[in-house]
């Protein structure tokens, strides 16, 4: 009896924020599953080049330096990925910023609010818009036969579901991605494009290192997670991969919580 594999042979995926953390783990996993992968990065040039080499080089994996803070930036990134590999089957929107300083709403600077909205939402609009247009243009089977013709996975957060004190800007953007998932699913599922969301809790990444590593804050974080620890990036990448395989072909518009049970206690 043969095993069941999560494979993406012949597929092209674009993963934003792919040079580090959850993004890099997702790039590795999608590449191992057989996809050709384009990923974006902004500053981590050394890490990006090393990841391309690790994933069999530019014939199978390309790194694209791209600022993501406007709709035009998002569209430019999709166009660059298509130019590299000729098509686009999967979009994973993983990039985002979480200003680590605590900013009560009465004191939050306009600049911080606008910057978080720009990176975490405005660029996503352009990414999704261009990706959907590309997926629609590609030769594909009729969606009426039940086969997915494209996949979009948006990375949200538990903060988007239960809020986060002193980080309202971040929580608002992640809540908006959940709403966007549901709206896009209703619109695109009839055309064969599956749109879903993965909502991680605390993950051991560079972005969260200061908070997780702080003795007092780290203990508080772990105390709020029923499994007693933060996730590894690979534990987020796995569910993302699953949602882009035929095994998830009947899943659309869902928010998959990957947080060690944390939402249940929130």
Catalytic (active-site) positions: 170
Report how far apart, in Å, the C-alpha atoms of 13 and of each of 114, 135, 157, 201 are.
29, 12, 22, 24
CB 201 within 8 A of CB 259: yes
Q: Tokens 């702080």 correspond to what residue? A: 214
């Amino acid at each position: 009896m043969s095993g069941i594999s999560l494979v993406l042979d012949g597929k092209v995926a674009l993963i934003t924020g792919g040079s580090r953390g959850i993004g890099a783990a997702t790039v590795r996993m999608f590449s191992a599953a057989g996809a050709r992968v384009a990923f974006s990065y902004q500053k981590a040039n050394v890490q990006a080049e090393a990841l391309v080499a690790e994933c069999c080089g530019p014939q199978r994996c390309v790194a694209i330096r791209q600022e993501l803070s406007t709709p035009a930036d998002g569209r430019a990134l999709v166009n660059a990925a298509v130019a590299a590999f000729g098509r686009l089957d999967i979009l994973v929107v993983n990039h985002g910023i979480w200003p680590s300083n605590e900013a009560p709403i009465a004191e939050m600077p306009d600049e911080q609010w606008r910057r978080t909205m720009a990176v975490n939402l405005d660029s996503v609009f352009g990414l999704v818009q261009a990706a959907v247009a590309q997926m629609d243009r590609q030769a594909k089977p009729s969606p009426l036969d039940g086969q997915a013709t494209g996949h979009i996975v948006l990375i949200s957060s538990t903060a988007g579901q239960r809020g986060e004190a002193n980080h309202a800007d971040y929580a608002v953007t992640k809540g908006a991605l959940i709403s966007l998932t549901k709206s896009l699913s209703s619109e695109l599922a009839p055309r064969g494009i599956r749109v879903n969301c993965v909502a991680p809790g605390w993950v051991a990444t560079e972005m969260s290192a200061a908070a997780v590593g702080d003795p007092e804050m780290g203990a508080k974080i772990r105390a709020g997670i029923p499994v007693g620890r933060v996730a590894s990036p690979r534990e987020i990448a796995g569910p993302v991969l699953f949602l882009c395989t035929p095994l998830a072909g009947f899943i659309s518009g869902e928010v998959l919580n990957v947080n060690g049970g944390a939402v249940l206690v929130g």
